[in-house]
Amino acid sequence: MAAEFRCEKCGQMLDVEAEPGSSIKCPHCKKSVTVPAALASLPRPRIVPEGQVARAAQDVTARPDQEAEAEEELIEGDGDDAVMAVMARIMPWVVSLFLHASIALIMAFIVMLAISSEIPSSVVVPSAKLSKNPGGMMNARDRTAKAMTERRRSAARKWSKKESAIITDSGKTAKKISLYAHGGSAGSGSPIQGLAGGAGSPGTSFYGTGGNAHHVVWVIDRSGSMMDSFELVKRETASSIGQLRAIQDFHLILFADGPAIEVDTKRLVPATEKAKLKAVSFLRGKRALRQTDPIPALQRAFAVLRMADRRRPGKLIYLLTDGVFPDNKAVLEEIRKLNPQKEVHINTLLYGNRPPVAVAVMKKIKNENGGQYRYISGDE
């Protein structure tokens, strides 16, 4: 009978005519092999060696486990595909959200930097005269030019006849100061108004209705070009000093050419009665002379204000001049260098003549330093 089986020696398939149990010679390995007896029951006798039979049985046994693992892998693969599909749909939105949020944060940071560089850390109303609420806004009043002129003229007629009472924080004092330097008289010499607020003082406040500047420095031009208006400047300065309150401090600096001259304290001092009297006495003995150079005085003013008590807001400089500077550009550049953060406000007051160049410089200084500008004619 025909038998088909695998050689036990070489593993090759044999297809021979032989009876089960008989011995044959393998045509491949030339070795003698026995035809398996089990082939007799097969329609077409086939046989696999015993080792291969065992392996085949193991394969059959392991097949369900492999199929289960394959199914699990398929399920897991389907789950991963679903997750990836969802991620593919939402990822562009997530990226867009984070991108726009980042741009918004960057823009907000830029705006904050711009605001902090342009706006002082505290809002200061640039006036030496404190309002009733120094932390609040200035109480603006509508005064006509005619009314102000009449009140000044009325006050001027009284200056030659009266003395001004010193006004300190209480608003009252029995002590008075003469309007004239020692040895002067009402009929000779120029009047120097004392500390403002008494019966002989002007009816209007020269420096406004009230603010919240706690640290004030006057920088006053005493050059020869100020000769005609220097007495008025001294009167108005003394008047403004008299309006200071005890919670404020101040300093006084004069300039012509060369080094500035200043009150010998060389620093901010509390606005006590004694300090006010000393400042007025300092002003009395000064005359206008020489050329104009405000830069050394401005440097001293900023140096003094750098030492101010930071617990109280408001640093203010009053620049009183006729605006006749030898180098306006140099003055502007020096102020920009001294005040880069605009922490110090500068009020500019122009006296005497009003040349367009001087007006432009004074207004530019006040605009760049958050201050106020005012022109005072020589006949006021």
Cβ–Cβ < 8 Å for 283, 234 = yes
Give the pLDDT band of residue 64 (cuts 50, 70, 90).
Answer: low
pLDDT tens-digit readout, 35-57: 887 655 555 555 445 555 455 55
Say what the pLDDT of residue 71 is: 64
Residue 185, CA distances (Å) to 145, 157, 182 in order? 32, 15, 9
Cβ–Cβ < 8 Å for 218, 318 = yes
Q: Which residues contact 255 (CB under 8 A, 6 or more apart)?
A: 219, 220, 221, 222, 223, 261, 292, 293, 294, 296, 297
Give the pLDDT band of residue 379 (cuts 50, 70, 90).
Answer: low
Q: Which residues contact 321 (CB under 8 A, 6 or more apart)?
A: 220, 221, 226, 292, 294, 348, 349, 350, 351, 362
| Domain 145-376 of CATH type 3.40.50.410 | yes
| Tokens 């140096």 sit on residue | 303
Say what the pLDDT of residue 275 is: 94
Strand-pair partners of 249: 215, 270
Round to whole Å and give the CA distance between 267 and 303: 9
pLDDT tens-digit readout, 209-225: 346 789 999 999 888 87
pLDDT tens-digit readout, 319-348: 988 877 889 999 999 999 999 999 999 999
Say what the pTM is.
0.53
Q: Is the dihedral of CA 8, 10, 16, 18 positive or negative?
A: negative
Q: Comparing 281 with 177, which gets the higher pLDDT?
A: 281
Pairing of strands 164-165, 176-177: antiparallel
pLDDT tens-digit readout, 247-263: 999 999 999 888 889 99
Pairing of strands 315-321, 344-351: parallel
% pLDDT > 90, the chain: 26
Q: Which segments of 67-206 are extended strands (E)?
A: 164-165, 176-177
Q: Find the helix packing angle between 328-338 and 356-368, rounded to 10°.
A: 10
Which amino acid type is present at position 92?
P
Residue 95 has pLDDT above 60, yes or no: yes
Q: Please report, for the chain, the start and end positions of each structural domain, with discontinuous segments joined by +.
A: 2-48, 64-118, 145-376
CA dihedral 127, 133, 137, 139 (to 10 degrees): -80
pLDDT tens-digit readout, 101-136: 999 999 998 888 776 554 444 455 566 665 554 443
CA geometry: angle at 336 spanning 331 and 340, to 5°? 160
Give which of 301, 299, 359, 323 is closest to 223, Cα–Cα: 323
pLDDT tens-digit readout, 192-205: 344 443 333 322 33
Q: Which two tokens stand for residue 345?
A: 């406000």
